Structures are given as structure tokens and as C-alpha cells.
Amino acid sequence: MLTSSGGAAFASMPYPFRILLFVVVVTAVLGGGHLYLYRRLFRDTGASPRVRRAGALVLAVLGLSLLFARVLATRLHSQGGNLLALFAWCWLGFALYLGPTLAGYRLFAHVGEWWRRRCGTPGVSAERRAFLARAAVGGAAAVAAGASSYGLWRAFQPPLLREVAVRLPGLPKSLDGFHIVQMSDLHIGDVLGRRFLEELVRRCNALRPDLVAVTGDLVDGTVQHLGPAVSALRGLTSRAGTFFVTGNHEYYSGDVAWARALTDMGVQVLRNRHVTLGDAGGRLDVVGVDDYGQKNVPGRQGYDLDKALAGRDPDRPAVLLAHQPRGVEEALGGGLGLQLSGHTHGGQLFPITLLVDATWRYSAGLYPVGAGHVYVSRGTGFWGPPMRIGSPPEITSITLLS
């Protein structure tokens, strides 16, 4: 994750360099993490050379599965590819807790060794050290299994309903109480499918919204593969309709094709444009922009707020739909009193939640920005490990007040 300034610097890089940097960083992190696990699981425990070689092979396969399983799943669209991707992501979630727990034990062991040297106490024998390392591996595995099992259970439970009331500058009295239901980062794909989406549609309709906003990362796959599942959105009912803006994952999945398909499903796709709701008694603009991360990518339609606002009356109140909570300070103003975003997932998994809180100015929840506000959803689905710990999935019910 990136801070606002770091994100701007990354977004300004030429697109091929961004992809290269991403691949290098991911490969280094995965390689380094699995090497660390090898040292703790096999070298420190006194395993035989044969067991060490077998362990190195298994960890190498697991590491490579994280690099290629998603590619296989999205290309093959087979049950085997889906299971491989699911297994790889579950391993990642498990390893995210196994590694830090082992590191905690290692730190404790180093402190104990330092204290023994300081006090002149005899050191621990090699056999005793190997026994303690094996005990630490067992304990760490139990911790990781418990945490990842809870996270897996929570990810597939119904999303929480978060209710938010926001005063929108300039909102006419006739629109006081205008009700928006926001979903974000559903990531419909090989794990979450039509049944999941149908249940979300039922929950949204029960809230009787005036408008439904889907703020990006709806899909992870092509229209050909996922169109039948996503067509469940046809069942959404609201007075003003359903509005959608692209997230970064739509660009991975075919943004133009998805914009066309969603329009055919009755969803209003806002690609750097706005629409006006209401009548002579009171009007409200809904403004939508494409994903911020595509802003400077050659040949792609990316974030263009100026184009989205072209021809709009700045005295009219407006809500901005933007997938990423970036550029918020520049966007809010001229009637734009509220931005609805997602993208961060609130970190999705503890302790990544702490990292996201530290590196994103607007990580999850409602924040005042000048005379307006930005609300950042924690996401309705998940991506990567099918787990949620410390950042539960949500549907957001937003009431606008004059």
C-alpha cells in the first residue's frame, strides 16, 4: 500500500515500469518469505538432509503456486484451476500467521540467549535447541491454523451493515434523507459467484435504497466467464438506479467489455461523467470517475475528474464515486461534498490492517475533508486469501442530510 504522495509518485511512473516494479517486489517478498520459513521449519529443527531437501521442494512449489495459480485459474476456467488458486491463497493466509509467529519465537530465543550470556549461565545444547525449535514450530502452526480458520469462517459470513449519516453541503430539503447503499470490492470470480451476489442483492433491496453505488473491483475475470454470475445485479431495485465505477481489477478483466455488459444489465456505468437526479424541487449530481491507478497509462481511459465535471453546475450538490481514496483533497469542492470509495479492504487481515492504517490517509470509514467527507468501504467480498480478520466485509447504508 502507498501513502498519498507515494501513490502519486507510483502512478506517475511509466506503466511498464510499474508492472516490472510490482513483479520484482512480489517475487522478492514471496521468495524471501519462503526462504525464511525453510530456515525455521527445517534447518533450525535439526531435520535430516533428506527431509530438508523435501521441505525445500515443497516450499518452492507453494511459493510458485502463489505466482501462477491465479493465472491458471483465470485462463483455464476449470474446477482444477479454481481449486489450485483457492489452495494457494489459503496457504498464503496460513503463512502470513505462521511466519510472524515463528519470528516472535526467534526473537524471544535471542533475548533469552543474550540474558544467559549476560548472567554467565551455561548455554543450551544443540539437542535442546532443536527440541525447542520443533516445539515452536508446532505452536506456531497451531496459532496460524486457528487464525486462518477464523478468518476463513468470517470471510464467508454475511457482510456487516454499516449505517452512516452525512451532511451534504447544499442538499435541498426535498432530498433530505436520500438513501445510498454502497457495495465495493466484491471480487466476483472463481470463489465468490452468483449465489453470493444474489444474497447481496436481496440484502440491498431489503434496505429500500434510493440509489445503489458499486465502487469498483466488482469482478476478477472476463465477461464471457463471469457474465452469468454478475447478471444477478439485474435484481437490484432502487428509485434512482444502480451506478458503477471501474476499479483496478476491471482493467485486468476487460474494462470496455464490462462497461458494455453492465450497461446491458441496466447498471449506469459512470466513466468520467455525471448524471443529475431529482426534479425542479431539488437536484443532486452523481459523478463517477475511472480508477485512479490508470490515470497515466497510455491507451487507457483513466481517472479524469475534469471530464467528469464538464458542464456541471458547481452550485448543485454532488456525490463522487471513485474506486481509490486518492486525490480526495483536490476532488472535494465545488459542490462535491462526499466521495465514496473502496480499494483498501481496510487491510482485510490483521496485522496488515495496521499497515494500511499507517500508509493510507483514508484507510476505512468516514473522514472529514474540508467542508465535505470521504467514506472508504472495507469491501463486500475479499481478494487473495479468502479470509477476513480485523476488517469484516460490509454493506454501507449512507443517509444524506441537508
Cα distance between residue 179 and residue 166, in whole Å: 10
CATH code of domain 161-401: 3.60.21.10
**What is residue 126's three-state secondary structure?**
helix
Question: How high is the pLDDT of residue 13?
Answer: 58
Q: How far is CA 75 from CA 45, 81, 82, 196, 337, in A?
A: 40, 9, 10, 22, 42
| Helix and strand totals (H; E) in the chain | 12, 12
φ, ψ dihedrals at 246, nearest 5°:
-75, 145
Question: How high is the pLDDT of residue 295?
Answer: 83
- For 122-160, write each residue's pLDDT tens digit: 766 778 888 888 999 999 999 999 999 999 999 999 999
List all residues 6 or more positions away from 343 whose beta carbon is below 8 Å from its beta carbon.
184, 185, 216, 217, 247, 248, 323, 324, 325, 376
Cα distance between residue 10 and residue 225, in whole Å: 31
pLDDT tens string for the chain (402 positions)? 444 444 445 555 555 666 677 678 878 888 999 999 999 999 888 888 999 999 999 999 999 888 777 676 666 666 777 788 888 899 999 999 999 999 999 898 888 888 888 887 776 677 888 888 899 999 999 999 999 999 999 999 999 999 999 999 999 999 999 999 999 999 999 889 999 999 999 999 999 999 999 999 999 999 999 999 999 999 999 999 999 999 999 998 999 999 999 999 999 999 999 999 988 788 999 999 999 988 877 777 889 999 999 999 998 999 999 999 998 998 987 679 999 999 999 999 999 999 999 999 999 999 999 889 999 999 999 998 999 999 999 999 999 998
Question: How high is the pLDDT of residue 73?
Answer: 63
Question: How high is the pLDDT of residue 277?
Answer: 95
Question: How high is the pLDDT of residue 4?
Answer: 45
Question: How high is the pLDDT of residue 68?
Answer: 78
Return the half-sphere exposure (C-beta side, CA atoms, 13 A cut-off) of residue 238.
Answer: 27
Alpha helix (H) ranges present in 254-309?
A: 255-264, 305-309
> How far does Cα 360 stand from its chain's mean position?
13
**Domain ranges for the chain:** 4-155, 161-401
CB 250 within 8 A of CB 219: yes
- For 12-52, write each residue's pLDDT tens digit: 555 566 667 767 887 888 899 999 999 999 988 888 899 99
Cα distance between residue 192 and residue 176, in whole Å: 36
What helix, strand, coil percent values describe the chain, rounded to 5? 50, 15, 30
